[in-house]
Amino acid sequence: MLHFFKKVLIPSLLLLFPAAASAQLLRKDVQFEYNTFYEYYFENREFDYKVDSPVRSGTINAMSFTPSVGLSFWQGTGVNHRLTLGLDIRKDMGSGEGRYVDEVTVHYDGHVRLRDGSLFEGIIGVFPRNFSEGEYGRVFFSDSTRFVDRNIEGLLLKYRSRSLYAEIGADWMGQYGNTRKERFMIFSSLLWTPEPWLNIGFAGTFYHYAGSVQAPGVVDNDLLNPFIRVDFAKRTGMQELSLKAGLLGTYQWDREREESQTIRLGAEAVFRAGKRNVFITNTLFRGQGFQYLYSGTDLGGGKYGNNLYFGCPFYGYGVYDMAELSWTPKLGRALSLQLRARFHFKAGYDFSDPGFIGNTQTLGFVLDLDRLRHLKWGAGRIGEPVKKKTEHYYFL
């Protein structure tokens, strides 16, 4: 690994920032940036072998380490530019694989403070998926998907005012090749907070899963989730006491095998209550089999599965219920820990044939050095505008 840093990372940095490697480093308005992001993820899955579950029992025990370096500078007092080069290193413990480096990340990150006090951030390149601050439920991305597919290759635009957050991004996931499929996803999220206890928002993804030379064809998989949430925590003395209710709609079309597109509807309700960092969450979904192509294959015989669907596979059932008990102690600004126990249940769309699927236990630990170095905002975080009595706006 030290050899890799000497032979690849440092020369690449000097080539990427030739001016900064010399005289620019001496200028006061150009700052040297660095960050270390570490994540440990453990998930134990125990599913009933009598149930035809799309997820097998087993254990995920993995870690990731993402060091990065770069340069930043101010343009006036309201615009900040940052250019970063890093490595995404991941190890699945016990796999025996000798490959550690998943990707090299290179991205530009720009923050702008607008005249009305609202904030804008634009990111382009290869950057961590956690830079996206939108609210996408597990029907969009499962926890294991977020950990394994760690980076976005494309761009992300974000806007935040005192009551509104919105983002839109594009992830170029595959380039057309002999066996490699052309794939890209456009994702978007919006959250409006007209009152401290009320949220109105939506999340959506447009996924284009095209073909390769050996397996031509196109499959569309689009998902939209408008929702409303109320939180009575302040009125009850709880840390959180919320109910989120939303509609779900999916548009899917295997153009080589289906004569027309398929539109399926559903609904989801999420109840969450917590105090002293202990939370109880219940998620209830009812829909018309959102992942009906999961076991299907392309023209080359490859299974669609996780290549077509990134959400939790249990959303393929007509009714899916998940009960969760979690503990998220406060360890500090740069450290976070989360323990979760989940219990999964299924039923048919008409609530027939109910049954217990199984349970999962997860442990997540994160160390993000950037949150100590940049208290106002950091890489991939747009920040919060706050209006002072002097009518000036500041970042948090």
Q: What distances in angstroms separate CA 179 from CA 121, 175, 225, one per listed residue? A: 36, 10, 33
How far apart, in whole angstroms, are the C-alpha atoms of residue 38 and residue 87?
12
Q: How confident is the model at residue 92 (pLDDT cuts 50, 70, 90)?
A: confident
Contact 250, 289 (CB under 8 A): no
- Residue 324: predicted pLDDT: 98
Mean pLDDT for the stretch of residues 267-276: 97
In the predicted model, is pLDDT for residue 385 greater than 50?
A: yes
What pLDDT, on the 0 to 100 scale, is given for residue 157? 98
pLDDT tens digit sequence for 196-215: 999 999 999 999 999 888 88
The band of 25, judged by pLDDT with boundaries at 50, 70 and 90, is very low
Q: Is 98 exposed, middle or buried (0-12, 13-18, 19+ CB in 10 A)?
A: exposed
Beta bridge partners of 65: 38, 89
* C-alpha of 307 from chain center: 16
Q: Write down all domains in the chain, each with its CATH number in brackets.
A: 2-394 (2.40.160)
pLDDT above 70 for 5: no
Show the DSSP H helices in the chain as ranges: 2-4, 10-16, 143-148, 233-236, 305-308, 370-373
Q: Lowest mean pLDDT of 221-225, 248-252, 296-300, name the range.
A: 296-300
CA 281 – CA 309 distance, rounded (Å): 24
Per-residue pLDDT band at 395 (split at 50, 70, 90)? very low
Q: What percent of the chain stands above pLDDT 90? A: 64
Q: Is the pLDDT of residue 12 over 90?
A: no
Binning pLDDT at 50, 70 and 90, where does residue 28 land?
Answer: low
Mean pLDDT of 162-189: 93
- Mean of the pLDDT values across residues 344-368? 92
Average pLDDT over residues 226-235: 96
β-strand partners of 47: 358
Q: Containing H/E element for 357?
A: strand 355-368
Span 30-43, average pLDDT = 94
**Token pair of 29 as six digits:** 């308005």
Mean pLDDT lowest for which of 10-24, 32-46, 101-115, 168-182?
10-24
Q: How confident is the model at residue 256 (pLDDT cuts 50, 70, 90)?
A: confident
Cβ partners under 8 Å of residue 58, min gap 6: 45
Q: What is the DSSP string of 58-110?
A: EEEEEEEEEEEEEEEEEETTTEEEEEEEEEEEEEETTS-----EEEEEEEEEE
Alpha carbon distance 193, 91 (integer Å): 40
Instruction: Identify the top-confidence range among 9-18, 69-78, 265-274.
Output: 265-274
Q: What is the mean pLDDT of residues 117-132?
A: 95
DSSP symbol at 297: B
- pLDDT of res. 20: 43
Q: Please give the distance of CA 133 from its chain centroid, rounded to a whole number.
A: 8
**300: confidence class by pLDDT, cuts 50, 70, 90:** confident
**What is the model's pLDDT at position 215?**
87
Please provide residue 38's backbone torsions phi and psi, each rounded to the nearest 5 degrees.
Answer: -125, 135
96 — pLDDT class (breaks 50, 70, 90): confident
User: Which tokens belong to 57?
Assistant: 């029992």
**Residue with the larger pLDDT of the pair 20 and 293:** 293
Residue 70: its pLDDT value, please? 95
Cα–Cα distance measured from residue 185 to residue 122, given in angstroms and rounded to the nearest whole number = 18
Q: Which amino acid is at 338?
A: Q
Q: What are phi and psi of 25, to 5 degrees?
A: -65, -20
DSSP state letters, 101-145? EEEEEEEEEEEEE-TTS-EEEEEEEEEEGGG--S---TTT--HHH
